[in-house]
Amino acid sequence: MPAADLRGVSSRDSVPAMYDTRWPRPGPAMAAVAAVLGLVAGVVLGLSSPGSAPPARAAAPVETTVAPTTTTLPDEFHTVILGSYDKRDNAVARLRKVRQQGVKDAALLDQQEYHLGTRWAVYSGLFRTEEQAEAHRQELLGLGVTPSYRKHVTRND
C-alpha cells in the first residue's frame, strides 16, 4: 500500500481502514431486523399451515326421569341437604344439576317418609355423625355445589 493510503492506520491494526466501513454493522439495528424477519416468517408459516380440528364438545346429557330411590334408608342419619322444595319438579331439576356437577350419590327425600320441614329435599350422603356430614359438605363446596347445609334426618313414625 502506498504511504498516502495508510494515513490513519497504525502499525497495530491488522485490518486496513477500508474494511472498517462494511455494512451492515452488527448491533441493535441488526437484531431488530432479525426479529422482524422472524415474526414475518412465523406469520407466513402460521397462515399457510392447516388448522387444527375444532375442540370436541361433550354431548348434552340425556334428560331422563329421576327414578325414586329403591334402597331402604336408615331410620336416622346425618346428611347434606342441597335444596328444599315444595314442588317435585323443582327438586328434580336441582337433582339433575348437582349430578352434572359431579354429585353422583345425590337423591330425593320425601316429607311423607322423613321429617324435613318441606315436601322434597335433595340430599347427598348418609353419615353416622354430624362431623362426617360436615366433611362431606366441604367436599361438595370444593366441587362448586352451593348452597348446602348438614341436617340430622329422622323417619316419620
Comparing 54-58, 115-119, 122-126, 142-146, the range with the smallest average pLDDT is 54-58
Q: How do the domains of the chain map onto residue ranges?
A: 76-154
Superfamily for domain range 76-154: Sporulation related repeat (3.30.70.1070)
State the average pLDDT over residues 135-153.
Answer: 92
Cβ neighbours of residue 88 closer than 8 Å, sequence gap 6 or more: 108, 119, 120
Instruction: Cite the beta strand spans of the chain per DSSP E.
Output: 76-85, 107-110, 120-127, 149-154
The predicted-structure confidence for 48-78, as pLDDT tens digits, reads as follows: 666 555 565 655 444 444 545 556 889 999 9
- Residue 124: pLDDT over 80: yes
The predicted-structure confidence for 79-107, as pLDDT tens digits, reads as follows: 999 999 999 999 999 999 999 999 999 99
Q: Are strands 120-127 and 107-110 parallel, antiparallel or unpaired?
A: antiparallel
State the average pLDDT over residues 135-149.
Answer: 92
First to last CA, the chain: 120
Instruction: Please tell me the predicted confidence (pLDDT) of residue 109.
Output: 95
Q: Which of 69, 46, 87, 75 is nearest to 123 (CA)?
A: 69
User: How many CB atoms lie under 10 A from the CB of residue 6?
Assistant: 13
Give me the sign of the Cα torsion angle 136, 141, 144, 146.
positive
The predicted-structure confidence for 4-30, as pLDDT tens digits, reads as follows: 555 555 555 555 555 555 555 666 766
- Residue 37: pLDDT over 60: yes
Instruction: Please tell me the predicted confidence (pLDDT) of residue 63.
Output: 46
Q: What is the DSSP letter of 49?
A: S
| pLDDT class of 108 with cuts at 50, 70, 90 | very high
| pLDDT class of 34 with cuts at 50, 70, 90 | confident
Q: Which of 103, 91, 114 is nearest to 136 (CA)?
A: 103
